[in-house]
Structures are given as C-alpha cells and as structure tokens.
Structure 1
C-alpha cells in the first residue's frame, strides 16, 4: 500500500483553505469578513425539508405583543425568511439544556421546515409568525 507523506497532505490542505489565487481584496483585516464555516460570500445555501437550520431567535416579550406563554420543542410556527420572501411552517427543536423558550428571551435553536429554504449569508433574517402576528425575529446561523 502506498502512503502520502504528511507534509504533502498538509500543503494540499493549506492550499484548499487559503485558495490558490484570488482577485478579491483581502478581507482578513477589517470588518466585512464572513463568519468561519459560513458559505463563501455571495453563495446561497439550500436547506431541504427536514434538514435542521440553526438560528438565533428572539421572542417578543408578552408586553411587546409576544406570546404570553413559553413554547417547547415541537412548536410549529410559520417562518417568513427575508431572502426571496419565503414562508413555510417549521418545527422548533430546542437544545437539550433549554426545557422551554419563554417570551422576551433570545436562544440558539434548530428549525426543521416543511419546504426547502434557500438562504444567503447577506440576508439571514426571518420573522416568526403565529396566526399572522409577528411574535419573534431572528437570523440563520451559517455554520457550513
């Protein structure tokens, strides 16, 4: 069996990560860089039905027109994604350390949607709707 020297593998990995050449300005200094693990700038990402989308969700407080009670895993609101004005029903999956999601709080959760969702890193925002009322807002967390 033939083996590849580790130095050769390391060099190939470095080229793959850094890229061979680019006509774009270096975004490593200053703001505007893409979050590590995010799709390249300008690229869409499609989440097929049932594929989990990680989001950072803020639910409105009950005094600000939000729910008066917490929700739990299995909650199925309508999510209106800003990118391409897509709207679909999604299943909320809370992390194991979060038993319930009270009004007025912000948490990172998972969404599994009934329809395919096309997302873009430049337009990650969405609105959570229940009965046509906006009860929360959030952004998709692009992790790769």
Structure 2
C-alpha cells in the first residue's frame, strides 16, 4: 500500500487557502477578495411542520404580565415570529432535565410548530401569546447546519 506524506496534504491545503483569499481587486467587480474572518452570508432557514426548532425562551413572571403557573412539555401557545410576521401554534418540548418551566425563567427548549416557519438569523425573535396577551419572548438558536 502506498502512502502519501502528511506534508504533501499540508502543502496542498496552504495552496488552496492562498487561492481563496486575496487582497487584489477582483477584475469583474472591482472589489477585493474574501476577507479573513468574514462571517458567512446569513440566509433564512425553513422549519417544516413538526420539525423541532431550538429556541432560547424567557417566560414573563406574573408581575410582568406573564403566567402565574409553570408549564410542562406539551404546552401549545401561539408563537408570533418577527421574521415576516408569521403566527402559528407550537408544541413546547422541554429538555429531559427540565421537568417544568416556571414563569420568570429562561431556558433552551424545542418548539414544533403546526405550520412551516421561515426564520432569518438577523430576525430570530418571537413572542409567546396566550389569548392574545404576551407571556414570553425568545429567539431561535441557529446551530450552523
């Protein structure tokens, strides 16, 4: 069996990196190459009905107009997403180590919505509504798929 030295792979990787980043203007656009450390372009993400969405959720305390009791997995509030003003019912799935979600606390949980939802990293926020009243707020957690 023939082996290729690791140094050859390292050299190839350096050549590839050198070709991807340049301070020279791009002839077509007149702009420079890709900046090192520049974040990737943010795009919206689609969540199909029933697909779990990771969120960081803060429930308002009763003193702030929120619930007076905890909720458990299976809680189905209306969620109003900021991006494109989408609204749908979603099923809350608590993590195994969180038996109940008390008012006034923040936790990472899963939401499974009844409708397709589009979320953009620049507009990840949402509101939790019960009877048209806001009882919580949160953001979608993008995991960098």
Give yes or no for contact 1:83–1:118 (8 Å, CA) kept in 2: yes
Matched, 1:115 2:134: no
1:5 Cα deviation after fit: 8.3
Q: Which residue of 1 aligns with 2:70?
A: 70
Task: Could you list the structure 1 runs, at least 4 aligned residues long, displaced by more than 6 angstroms after superposition.
Answer: 3-7
1:67 Cα deviation after fit: 0.5
Alpha carbons of structure 1 residues 118 and 21: separation in structure 2 relative to 1, 3 Å = farther
1:4 Cα deviation after fit: 9.0
**C-alpha separation in 2, matches of 1:4 and 1:69:** 64
What's the Cα RMSD here? 3.0
Q: Which residue of 2 aligns with 1:131?
A: 131
Q: Which residue of 1 aligns with 2:101?
A: 101
1:34-45 to 2 correspondences below 5 Å: 40-45=40-45
**C-alpha separation in 2, matches of 1:89 and 1:8:** 51
Give yes or no for contact 1:60–1:135 (8 Å, CA) kept in 2: yes
TM-score by length of 1: 0.77
Give yes or no for contact 1:41–1:121 (8 Å, CA) kept in 2: no
Alpha carbons of structure 1 residues 71 and 4: separation in structure 2 relative to 1, 3 Å = farther
Q: Which residue of 1 aligns with 2:87?
A: 87
**C-alpha separation in 2, matches of 1:136 and 1:47:** 21
Matched, 1:52 2:52: yes
- Larger Rg: 1 or 2? 2
